[in-house]
Structure 1
């Protein structure tokens, strides 16, 4: 028993002696790694500051800053391990890093895919920070483009985090990619209104609205002969194309168009429906040459149209005749019963 305790105590003493022997190296390694860690942050901040005033190079500065930070921290880690374990060679570290990289690649495939997609997005710049984009059902302003995900702020004050791999492999609408943007809205006028007059009034209303660009010029084209309206599409250009400015200018343009059209007697009808009551008892039912409901009547005898009031009166007459027949039948039956009783007596 005493020998076993003695063996355990000797091992503890050996471990303690080894720790105290390595303690200076451990402290030195921590100091070196801390220096490299703060140096990496300084390098990242310096790269970002160099590209901060250039909008086109700002995303590239983010990429280079993060890569420089990661490389510096990795170099500090290698040096710190070499100080703690002097027998560890650089080749062993590279080999260990390669094996670990393969394992990590299989385990974190989605993370690495998003990372590579984020690097490509930052380098190719399909959109930039502060751009307003539309991705599937999401729309908002780009706040951050990180190496893993992109964050956008919606117009109602919410944050959406979208993985970079989805942004890179799917279609994205960038509303602020260019300086000017064209807006459009369909306006329905009555079939009895003059199209040219309505067109000129719509163009005048757009030209008189402050904020509508004179070049490219606004236009108004007929796009549809709808069920109850003739639809004219008003199109105008704005600058800048940001969401708040677009909505404000659209409000002014549509208000001016509505006021100008109504002031000049142009009708803005609402949808209407025409209901045709089809008489299934007519002999010409289904004959397109004579049927009047739905098709123009052809030559020859055409059934006269019947109004709803006529149909109601006709039904009332049939009902009254039926009641009268029943009443007369009951009176005749009563008289016959009385006569039969008198003859029996």
Structure 2
């Protein structure tokens, strides 16, 4: 049989428990206030002191934006981590920190199994950032897509297409795909095939094509423009012109090529060099069956 406590003793125990709860709540509120204040102070110090110092160091060493942006993000993440860790230590939340670390490890393991694609993109992002041949501002081509890299983060990259569309590409797609960088060495080779008639002087036509390339201000003298006969089509002889542009953007490349092709066409017209276009001639006959017999009516076209 349970002992029956006097009402006075029971009331004292309730008061003691209530006072302990209040004291514990006040102490926790004080520790929480210390924690928040510590985190804020160390975070602000990091933002005001550490991040600008890292930014200046990156600029002083002429670090490419491809590496500079992730470095600043990692620095800010480190500032937040240190601020939270110092806040836990000063507030005396050591046991709570241990518990949170255990919970975080379990959550990380569960999330890792559930998001393997995300982890793959993170790993691919690290390789892309470390690759000196892939940089922000580069003109790249992959999977029949073209564009200028505007940003490379740890999960995705953002590419501005030549239609002014911003495409978000998973890093794993770029890392696992053959990427073409046509301006990797700050020059772009532009090929274009002109069709010349079979009856024309091919040497003269090639001279005209090279001369017009040499006259254009935006076409480089070194490497020098060149031509070669590349095909014998049904209605023309294909002469491929190859010339170089220095550090072009998409708009520069399209503008220079358009001006050059127009200049060659006008020069060929002036010097009566035939530039035929493909055409087809249909030949055959038509059989017409009439009531009185069969009559064949040939058609010339």
- For normalisation by structure 2, the TM-score amounts to 0.81
What residue in structure 2 maps to residue 305 of structure 1? none
Mapped partners of 1:9, 1:104: distance in 2: 46
Q: Could you tell me which residue of structure 2 aligns to residue 160 of structure 1?
A: 167
Q: How does 1:6-85 map to 2 (within 5 A)?
A: 14-42=20-48, 43-52=50-59, 55-85=62-92
Q: Is the 8 A contact 1:44 1:66 kept in 2?
A: no
The structure-2 alpha-carbon separation of the partners of 1:86 and 1:312, relative to structure 1 and needing over 3 Å to count, comes to closer
Distance 1:105 1:313, change over 3 A: closer
Structure having the higher strand fraction is 2
Label 1:115 to 1:37 Cα distance change in 2 as closer, same or farther (>3 A): farther
Q: Considering only CA atoms, is the larger Rg found in Structure 1 or Structure 2?
A: 1
2:215 is the alignment partner of 1:208: yes
Number of the residue aligned with 1:109: 116
Q: How does 1:254-273 map to 2 (within 5 A)?
A: 254-273=261-280
8 A Cα contact 1:176 1:242, kept in partner: no
Distance change (3 Å), C-alpha of 1:8 and 1:103: farther
Provide the C-alpha distance between the structure 2 equivalents of 1:173 and 1:88, rounded to a whole number of angstroms: 53
The one-character-per-residue Cα deviations of 1:55-105 (angstroms, maximum 9, x if unpaired) are 544333333332232233223223323444545287666555544432332
1:119-130 superposed matches below 5 A = 119-130=126-137
Distance 2:92 2:198 in 1: 90
Q: Which of 303, 306, 312 is equivalent to 2:297? A: 312
CA change 1:72–1:228 in 2 (3 A) is same
Higher relative contact order (CA 8 A, sep 6+): 2
- For the residues of structure 2 that align with 1:114 and 1:8, how far apart are their CA atoms? 57
* Aligned residues of 2:140 and 2:180 also touching (Cα < 8 A): yes
Distance 2:298 2:257 in 1: 54
Cα 1:128/1:39, change in 2 over 3 Å: farther
Q: Which runs of 5+ in 2 are unaligned?
A: 1-6, 288-294
Tell me the SS of whatever aligns to 2:135. Answer: coil
Partner SS, residue 118 of structure 2:
helix
- Provide the C-alpha distance between the structure 2 equivalents of 1:48 and 1:195, rounded to a whole number of angstroms: 59
- Cα distance in 1, alignment partners of residues 125 and 244 from structure 2: 33
Tell me, yes or no, if the aligned pair for 1:185 and 1:233 is still in contact at 8 Å: yes
Deviation of the 1:219 alpha carbon:
1.1
Contact 2:88 2:97 in 1 (8 A): no
**Matches of 1:132 and 1:270 in 2, distance apart?**
33
Stretches of structure 1 that go unaligned for 5 or more consecutive residues are 281-309, 315-345
Distance 1:33 1:107, change over 3 A: farther
Root-mean-square deviation (CA, aligned residues, Å) is 3.1
1:176 aligns with 2:183: yes
Within 5 Å, which residues of 2 pair with 1:188-337?
Answer: 188-277=195-284, 312=297
Is contact 2:195-2:237 (8 Å) kept? yes
8 Å Cα contact 2:286-2:296 kept in structure 1 = no
Taking the aligned partners of 1:195 and 1:311, their CA distance within structure 2 comes to 46
Change (3 A) 1:35 1:180: same
Tell me the SS of whatever aligns to 1:232: strand
Question: For this pair of structures, how many residues does the alignment match?
Answer: 282
244-253 vs 152-161, greater mean Cα deviation: 152-161
Kindly state the Cα deviation for residue 275 of structure 1 after the two structures are TM-superposed: 3.0
Q: Give yes or no for contact 2:155–2:171 (8 Å, CA) kept in 1.
A: yes
